[in-house]
Amino acid sequence: MNKNLFQTFLKAYPVIYKPVWKENLLLSFVDVFHGLSFAVLIIATQRFFDAITVYLGGTGSQNQVISLAWTVIFCQILSQLLNGFVNFYADVVREKGYGRICVMIQRKIQKTAPVNFEKNDFLDDMNKADQGAQEACAMVDTVNSIFTFYVPYFVLMGMYMYHLNYILIISVLLVFLPVLVTNYVQMHFGDIIEQKIAPVRREAEAYEKSLTTLDNFKETKVLYAAKYFIHLFQTSVSQWNQVSWNIRKKEAVINLGLNTFSFLAYGVILIMLVYLTVCGEISVGSFAVVFSAIDVMFYLMQEIFRDSLGNVAKNMGRINNFLNLIQSEEISQKSIRVKDGSIELKNVNFKYPESKQNCLNHITLKINSKETVAVVGQNGSGKTTLSKIILGIYKPDSGEVIVGGEKIDERHNCFPDMSAVFQKFNRYKLNIEDNIIISDVNDESGYLDAMNEVDNDLNIDPEMILSRDFDGIDLSGGQWQKIAIARGIHRSCKILVLDEPTSAIDPAQESELYHTFMRIAEEKTCVMITHRLGLAKIADRIIVLKDGAIVEDGKHQELLERKGEYCRMWSLQAEWYQNQTIGSKDSV
């Protein structure tokens, strides 16, 4: 094991072992006998062969031959039974452990700070953690069996051979060395191939996706881009084959050398055995069993190094992804209730983890309870980020967020008094009712009211799962958005945040929804993020963001008269609508 492998093992072992420690202990206990039974079978077989030789020479007893034959049969049955049990139970323990670890992973993800989801490394760890856990379970299983099965077996075989003739101990080394070196070489070349091929493979996979996934397929087909992608795909696959061929050639030459070495080692052992037998140093029975045991030892050595440890080394990256996730920092947050829906931000600054510059700069803002505030600004001005800061999903790098008189920080959130309709809302693979009530499962009956507020003519079969994966139906973007709005307003709350809530809804229904929002907003504080200024116009107040800072704050008419950023945006939109001749300036 190299140093990294060893360190990873030390970290992963307790995490994997603990959830199924009783089962692991039982498995290890039986596995020791499993290893010993193999070795005892060899010794019994040697005694049996020797007894037959003596009996055939006319001096031995028939009873002894028969009783040794029974012993061999008994040992054979026992070792097969133990083998079957260990194989079966090892799978059971691994699956049981893996199940428990998957639950552990999900719990861990719930305790991580939401801002971690903006970090590429964290996303990578999270996406590969499941597979990493599976590999880590296999690693623990492998190392356990090395100590409980392989080591006892080889120690006993070593002692047995030493007892027969001390020179025979060399044969264990002659088995061990070529297998060790061969597998090291294979791992080394495997690593090189993986490093060189990974970028080309990622490229090929991306081209393949452009050709085959449902989302990409339609556009690629209609725009006649398939030929272009097939050419790119072909080029990367040939590059991939070329790299692999060049490295595999070298590997094959080295392996040929090592196989010759193994063959010679085998020959040396055979000569040694024949010599010792002819000189009368060991019996014919010993010769027979040692010769057949060498084969088993070669096989077991290959099994440890190539199949077990080789796979562990290959999957090290994913095991590390799993460990990073499990060891990542947790936040323990307490949900608090707030007295009203007032919001205050004091000199808030925020930067995304992977970004170099601040996304929000010195935001100072006060929103009164039950006030309706529209946040407007160009794309990328920081509107969605501001909504996440207000909701308490992200914590500011500096400054304070105070909601309903309570300070929101790493340790406190006020989610129980908040609701939201997100720009990138979730499309849960549930029926329509469950899609809505999950925002407030204690109010099952209220879901129809929420649905009717949004659209009383949606006409979706209530039994149907909203996903084709479960033989259900899929909805249009607008229908999905209405469900997301219904989910947001179904939840009773003091503060409602709407982030571009009508982006996928057609204009006629959109203006109806504006009135619905206004009605709902009478009872609560409402922060509406929008670039539809028609919606902003009906808010109590408008906040204009530019480059992450508040540049204007006031009522619609006041901001128009100020002739600043809002006025400019309003004029542009009005002009656009007029050019489209679909309404008057007031309908913007």
According to DSSP H, which parts of 279-341 are helical? Answer: 284-302, 310-314, 316-327
Binding-site size, ligand ADP (CB under 6 A): 13
Place of tokens 């600043």: 564
DSSP 20-79: GHHHHHHHHHHHHHHHHHHHHHHHHHHHHHHHHHHHHTT-S-HHHHHHHHHHHHHHHHHH
Residues 313-352 that bind ligand ADP (CB under 6 A): 352
- We find the least distance from the C-beta atom of residue 587 to ligand ADP, in angstroms, to be 24
- Judged by CB, which is closer to ligand ADP: 75, or 497? 497
Nearer to ligand ADP, 144 or 384 (CB): 384
Site for ligand ADP in 167-226 (CB under 6 A): none
Smaller CB distance to ligand ADP: residue 138 or 533? Answer: 533
CB 406, min distance to ligand ADP, A? 24
What is the smallest separation between the CB atom of 223 and ligand ADP, expressed in angstroms? 27
Best CA proximity match to 83, nearest among 153, 186, 139, 157:
153
99 or 380: CB nearest ligand ADP: 380
Closest to ligand ADP by CB, 141 or 499: 499
569: tokens are 């945006």
Q: Are 186 and 255 in contact (CB under 8 A)?
A: yes
Instruction: State how far the Cα of 128 lies from the Cα of 139, in Å rounded to an integer.
Output: 16
Could you tell me the smallest distance in angstroms from the CB atom of residue 536 to ligand ADP? 14
CB closer to ligand ADP out of 28 and 358: 358
Judged by CB under 6 A, the chain residues 477 through 516 that form the site for ligand ADP are none
Least Å from the CB of residue 349 to ligand ADP = 13
The Cβ of residue 363 has, within 10 Å, a number of other Cβ atoms equal to: 24
Distance, CA of 9 to CA of 127 (rounded, Å): 21
d(CA 56, CA 50): 10
Nearer to ligand ADP, 134 or 385 (CB): 385
Q: Which is nearer to ligand ADP, 350 or 570 (CB)?
A: 350
Q: How many CB atoms lie within 10 A of CB 242?
A: 11
DSSP percent split of the chain into helix, strand, coil, nearest 5: 65, 10, 20
Give min distance, CB of 219 to ligand ADP, in A.
Answer: 24
CB 426 to ligand ADP: min, Å: 18
Taking the C-alpha atoms of residue 276 and residue 272, their distance in angstroms, rounded to an integer, is: 6
For residues 496 and 544, which CB has a smaller minimum distance to ligand ADP in the complex? 544
Residues 6 or more apart whose CB falls under 8 angstroms from that of 307 comprise: none
Of the two residues 116 and 385, which places its CB atom closer to ligand ADP in the complex? Answer: 385
CB of 483 to ligand ADP, least distance (A): 22
Q: Which residues pair with 374 in a beta bridge?
A: 528, 542
Least Å from the CB of residue 118 to ligand ADP: 4
CB of 115 to ligand ADP, least distance (A): 9
Report the distance separating Cα 31 and Cα 23, nearest Å: 12
The Cβ of residue 334 has, within 10 Å, a number of other Cβ atoms equal to 7
Q: Least distance (Å) from ligand ADP to the CB of residue 330?
A: 21
Mask of contacts with ligand ADP, 62-101, x by CB under 6 A? Answer: ----------------------------------------
Window 111 to 130, contacts with ligand ADP (CB under 6 A): 118
* Binding-residue pattern over the window 349 to 388 for ligand ADP, x denoting contact by CB under 6 A: ---x-xx---x-----------------x-xxxxxxx---
Rounded CA-CA distance 359/351 in Å is 5
Element of type H or E holding 155: helix 151-164
Count of CB atoms within 10 A of residue 283's CB? 18
Q: What is the DSSP letter of 150?
A: I
Single-letter amino acid code for the residue at 542? I
Q: How far apart are the first and last CA of the chain?
A: 68
Give the nearer residue to ligand ADP in terms of CB position, either 118 or 344. Answer: 118
- Residues lying near ligand ADP in the complex (CB under 6 A): 118, 352, 354-355, 359, 377, 379-385
